[in-house]
Structure 1
């Protein structure tokens, strides 16, 4: 009976909430298409609401509408140029757009992506996601246009100071990228032993199973994680 009344009154509860509250409700459930019209309506009535802009930028990103996401984050940066997270999200949207366009156009975006991430890193010395983005950026970028293992290692070292797990995962990521699997195992093993999380397990398991082809080690790791 209790569940029946919850179902009966749930639409009324939503109706009594503001557009912003309803948008947040659906956003937190990862129902981005349903959240979108509520945040859009709220922003029309409250055009300076930065949180609604951020939500709309995030939704555009989840929907892979990179130009829309970039537009919202640019508006936020104009208002709040000292907020690291907006620079990080702006750089992330630019980076994803760069992956969806021609190499010629992508090369023209590199400086803006780099500036956004490095600005975020300088504004917030403890911003983990930005440092992860910079590790990946400098590793995946060809050396001829600014890629640099030493710079990637620099940000991996910064991660290590902030979070042992993230630092060892970043170090492991770099070693895997360059197929230095013995070193990668050392870093990823340490990350797993400290974090013992799904992410640390998956990274080490993938190394054993798909890179080193050491099936027994993979099985042993899985047994340990499943306990």
Structure 2
């Protein structure tokens, strides 16, 4: 009899937790993070290793730029599931943002871990697009004296070109634009439009015309062609 009561109690707790999780997940999908957060935290008290709850809480803290708190969740996820590429990617992203907001001396000590996290994500998932974008941005933003390198950024852009042509052309365009090679950037953004045709590809070319080449009419024509297409 006692065993039966315990089983019923356990099942009722599981149903309650599942209902709470679904409620919190719905709030999260609606971007009502302040309401979702305490529900997720209560679930974590009952099940400290619930990976999806940990990830949601990490995402919420990341959205509010609480990098240290977010990293605690992602670090735990890396240890619970060391084969999940996204956990390393998200951990590296938070660490990178923390480094960006830190003084140069402190940031210098973080760069190696940031790179290692993104590289681990790629090792676990050879088709990981976001980790390559993150490494491209990292190598562009870093001064050459501490590891910045266009050559390395181009290496990951070339890898993206094989995995996702539209991302590859966008990445090459972004690198060219970063170094003020606007003709190259224009050509690559046009290739991205031909490869994908998403709104983002048109926006990249339009912004180049408007903000870098001072050609607002061309920018308007690019966006008009996108809306006419749809």
Aligned equivalents of 2:132, 2:178: Cα separation in 1: 17
Aligned equivalents of 2:176, 2:20: Cα separation in 1: 47
Aligned equivalents of 1:80, 1:220: Cα separation in 2: 48
Match of 1:127 in 2: 128
Of residues 190-199 and 84-93 in structure 1, the stretch that sits farther from structure 2 once superposed is 190-199
Match of 2:65 in 1: 64
Match of 1:49 in 2: 50
Q: Supply the RMSD in Å over aligned alpha carbons.
A: 1.4
Deviation at 1:179, TM superposition (A): 0.4
Match of 2:104 in 1: 103
Q: For 1:168-183, what aligned pairs fall within 5 Å after superposition?
A: 168-183=169-184
Match of 1:33 in 2: 34
Task: State TM-score, norm by structure 1.
Answer: 0.90
Match of 1:145 in 2: 146
Deviation at 1:226, TM superposition (A): 1.9
Match of 2:201 in 1: 200
1:89 corresponds to 2:128: no
Aligned equivalents of 2:80, 2:18: Cα separation in 1: 28
Note if contact 2:17-2:43 (Cα within 8 Å) is conserved in structure 1: no
Match of 1:78 in 2: 79
Of residues 193-202 and 134-143 in structure 1, the stretch that sits farther from structure 2 once superposed is 193-202
- Segments ≥4 residues shifted beyond 6 Å: none
Aligned equivalents of 1:93, 1:99: Cα separation in 2: 10
Aligned equivalents of 1:31, 1:126: Cα separation in 2: 31
Aligned equivalents of 1:43, 1:36: Cα separation in 2: 11
1:57-94 Cα distance to aligned partner (Å, 9 max, x none): 01100011000001111111112222111110000000
1:108-158 Cα distance to aligned partner (Å, 9 max, x none): 110110110111111110111111111111111111111111111111111
